[in-house]
């Protein structure tokens, strides 16, 4: 299993702590999050998605595994629980320096 990059750890930890500011801060200013084709763009869009689909749904993430697909790109399987989606889902993270450039929640 690959080493967990700090920005991905921040994404998980902020969700589990219910810390929306830390969650958004894990992303680059122009970062994106693609939730099965519904794309949140930039900090404002990601904050809105977090409010409606993540911390706003009291989500909790448990890391199942992580694999580096290419330099700076990781496929992470997270077990998700809360008041929204429940189950294990693949998330593809692309990093830019110490921030998340994009997350794609990959349909199974």
Q: How many beta carbons lie within 10 A of that of residue 28, not counting itself?
A: 18
pLDDT, tens digit (0-9, with 9 covering 90-100), for 11-40? 999 999 999 999 999 999 999 999 999 999
pTM: 0.96
pLDDT, tens digit (0-9, with 9 covering 90-100), for 43-101? 999 999 999 999 999 999 999 999 999 999 999 999 999 999 999 999 999 999 999 99
Closest CA relative to residue 49, chosen from 72, 70, 65, 32:
32
The class of domain 6-105 in CATH terms is alpha beta
Q: Among the residues of the chain, which ranges form H helices? A: 6-17, 20-25, 42-53
Residue that the structure tokens 């409606």 belong to: 52
Q: How confident is the model at residue 1 (pLDDT cuts 50, 70, 90)?
A: confident
Bridge-based pairing of strands 38-41 and 73-81 is unpaired
DSSP-based three-state secondary structure for 81: strand
CB-facing half-sphere around the CA of 34: CA atoms within 13 A: 14
Q: How confident is the model at residue 2 (pLDDT cuts 50, 70, 90)?
A: confident
């Amino acid at each position: 299993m690959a080493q967990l990059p700090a920005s991905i750890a921040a994404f998980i930890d902020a969700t589990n702590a219910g810390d929306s500011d830390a969650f958004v801060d894990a992303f680059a200013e122009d970062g994106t999050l693609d939730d099965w084709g519904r794309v949140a763009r930039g900090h404002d869009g990601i904050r809105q998605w977090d409010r409606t689909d993540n911390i706003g749904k009291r989500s909790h993430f448990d890391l199942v595994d992580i694999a580096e697909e290419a330099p700076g790109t990781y496929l992470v399987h997270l077990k998700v629980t809360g008041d929204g989606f429940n189950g294990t889902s693949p998330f593809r993270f692309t990093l830019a320096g110490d921030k998340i450039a994009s997350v794609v929640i990959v349909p199974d």
